[in-house]
Amino acid sequence: MSLIYAFLFSGVICLIAEIIINHTKLTPGHVTSLFSVIGSIMAFFGLYNNIINKCGMGAITLISNFGSSLYIAGLKGFRNNGIIGLFSNMLSKSSLVLTSTVIFSFIFVCIYKSKD
């Protein structure tokens, strides 16, 4: 069952993004920023964890998960250590995405050349 939910959730989010790109002047850059902020807003209302419980990887693969994990880690840091905790803990959960994109892209950029 979670397979169907994963398919539907990520499909519908991509469909909404496609509709926004086709019918407004927003570019893919706008849309990805918008969706990551929407992810943290959904986490603010406590929705995103429920969606992850239901749709599993369908929700985690999306860019909204970046925003929501930033919010969750920041709030946890604030509860543990006040405003200093907020600053020091904010990136802890999304460190995986940032570090791995930088490392992998650097490795592949060193190996391959631009085509044109």
Residue ranges that bind other proteins, judged by CB under 8 A: 2-3, 6-15, 17-19, 21-22, 28-29, 31-33, 35-37, 39-41, 43-44, 55-63, 65-67, 70-71, 74-75, 78, 86, 90-91, 96-98, 100-102, 104-109, 111-115
Could you say which DSSP state residue 25 is in? S
By beta-carbon proximity to other proteins, the closer residue of 14 and 84 is 14
CB of residue 84 vs other proteins: minimum separation in angstroms? Answer: 13
Dist CA 35 CA 33 (whole Å): 6
| Rounded-to-integer distance, Cα 25 and Cα 100, Å | 32
